[in-house]
Amino acid sequence: MAAALLAQAPALPLDDAGEYVAAAYIVFVLLLVVYVGIMAAKLARISRELEELAALAEGKEQGARSEEQRAAGSTEQGARDGDPVGAGEGRG
Amino acid sequence: MKTLSLRTLSIICAVLIGGGFALVFFYAPNDADQGFIQKIFYLHVPLAIVALVGFVVAAIHAIRHLRSGDPVHDARSYVSIHTSVIFGVAVLVTGAIWAKASWGQWWVWDEPTLVSFLIVFLLYATYYPLRYAIEDRERQARYASVFAVTAGAFVPLNFIAVRAAESLVHPRTFATAEGGLPPKMWLTFLVCLAGIAALWFILVRFELTAKRTSAQLSRLRRALDGTPPPVAGGVGTRIAPGATTAS
């Protein structure tokens, strides 16, 4: 279909005038491509930052979980030692 | 009214620009006077119109910012100017190519249309140093808005002044003694104008979305790190966080 359309279309006069017209449209496309490239770089940076933050959040979560486990372990230890309050907290 | 998604807008823009360029080369007749060179008109003029209207849009957002103090409007004003300056570069380059092809010179200093557009462009090029020379975020936004309003008012005045100058060099394509553009050229021009306007709008939306996402990431990082918000004017605070809701 594209070939048929091109066959019907008038030939583009790619002489001196055509070169200038092509240059103008190429400049426009190049500017667009540069802009898309900049936006892609921004997107990549955002994606990288998001990964870092996800890792940070996971690290915090794991830290909180191990803290909880440690606290639970000390409570059990305290109960076994006859301290129902647990962990020996507040003993000064 | 429901806002169209970026994807839908991008598809509309691609269809309009693709269709417009197809019309330029396969539908619109060659100009009797300039011949094939006149095809640059369908790119150069819409870019210029959209860039100038973009500056006026920035001024409107700046007025809204000054009235309400809402940083959302400041962000919209900033991004509108930013996108219009990029379009301005395209206008100057495509205009210089057209001038070289038509007049044999890259630039003509005694042509009011060219020089006035250059003045507007250079005026807006000073927006960035003005904005980032101010450290305090609120003052920065306020001064930038005042600049945007003043420069925005200059755009239509400039247009009227150029029309009044009645140059014989730069072609007045829309209203000539011969009756202006024929219908085929008008249709092609309007499709190209719609495509370029859609492109401007999409780029503004993209930029605002990117800035909003960056600002939210910064907030998230601060929340996770437990660090206090940055000092006004610091790196990453050029646009107030959360101030970038897409228009």
Q: Percent of chain A having pLDDT more than 70?
A: 67
Residues A20, B37: C-beta atoms closer than 8 Å: yes
> Are the C-beta atoms of residues B29 and B185 closer than 8 Å to each other?
yes
Measured over all CA atoms, what is the biggest interatomic distance in chain B, rounded to whole angstroms?
71
pLDDT for the residue numbered B57: 95
Q: Do B77 and B131 form a contact (C-beta atoms < 8 A)?
A: no
The encoded tokens of residue B214 equal 């960056």
- What's the pLDDT at B94? 92
Considering only residues 7 to 66 of chain A, which have any Cβ-Cβ distance to chain B shorter than 8 Å? 9-10, 12-13, 16-18, 20-21, 23-25, 27-28, 31-32, 35, 39, 42-43, 46, 49-50, 53, 56-57, 60
Cα separation, B176 vs B181, in Å, equals: 8
What pLDDT does residue B74 have? 92
Which residue in A17, A31, A43 is closest to B37 by CB distance?
A: A17
Q: For residues B38 and A21, give the distance between their C-alpha atoms in angstroms, rounded to a whole number.
A: 8
What pLDDT score was predicted for residue B244?
44
Q: Helix, strand, coil % (nearest 5) of chain B? A: 70, 0, 25
Banded model confidence at residue A5, pLDDT cuts 50, 70, 90: low
The model's confidence at residue A20, banded by pLDDT at 50, 70 and 90, is confident
Rounded to 5°, the CA angle A21-A16-B175 comes to: 50
A39 contacts B206? CB cut-off 8 A: yes
pLDDT at A4 over 80: no
Q: Which residues of B touch A (CB under 8 A)?
A: 21, 25-26, 35-37, 39-40, 43-44, 47, 86, 89-90, 93-94, 97-98, 100-101, 199, 203, 206, 210, 213-214, 217, 220-221, 224-225
Element (H, E) at B159: helix B137-165
Question: Between A and B, how many residue pairs show a Cβ–Cβ distance under 8 A?
Answer: 70
Q: What is the mean pLDDT of residues A41-67?
A: 86
List the single residue in A27, A42, A50 with the smallest CB-CB distance to B93: A27
Question: Which residues of A are less than 8 Å from B16 in CB distance?
Answer: none
* pLDDT given at position B245: 43
- What lies within 8 Å, CB to CB, of B214 at 6+ separation is A42, A46, B236
- What ipTM was reported for this prediction? 0.77
Nearest to B50 by CA among B16, B74, B73, B23: B16
Cβ contact, residue pair A28, B40, below 8 Å? no
Nearest to B39 by CA among B24, B61, B22, B17: B24
**Is it the case that residue A1 has pLDDT exceeding 80?**
no
Q: What is the mean pLDDT of each run of 10 residues along chain B (247 residues)?
A: 78 92 87 83 93 94 92 93 94 91 86 87 91 88 93 86 66 58 89 94 91 88 74 45 44
User: Residue range A58-62: average pLDDT?
Assistant: 82
Alpha helix positions (H), B69-136: 71-103, 112-125, 127-132
From chain B, the residues in CB contact with A57 under 8 A are 224
Residues in B closer than 8 angstroms to A60, CB to CB, are: 224
Structure tokens of B109? 């200093």
Which residues 6+ apart lie within 8 Å of A19 measured at CB?
none
At B182, give phi and psi (nearest 5°).
-70, 160
What is the structure's pLDDT at B172? 58
Question: How far apart (Å, rounded) are the C-alpha atoms in residues B51 and B44?
Answer: 11
* B110 burial type by CB count under 10 A (0-12 exposed, 13-18 middle, 19+ buried): exposed
More reliable by pLDDT, A60 or B132: B132
Which residue among B43, B214, B217 sits closest to A25, beta carbon to beta carbon?
B43
What pLDDT, on a 0 to 100 scale, did the predictor assign at position B242? 45
User: What is the dihedral sign for C-alpha B97, B100, B102, B105?
Assistant: positive
Contact B217 A49 (CB under 8 A): yes
Q: Do residue A21 and residue B47 have CB atoms under 8 angstroms apart?
A: no
Contact B196/B50 with Cβ under 8 angstroms?
Answer: yes
Q: Return the pLDDT at B167.
A: 55
Q: What DSSP string runs through B116-129?
A: HHHHHHHHHHTHHH
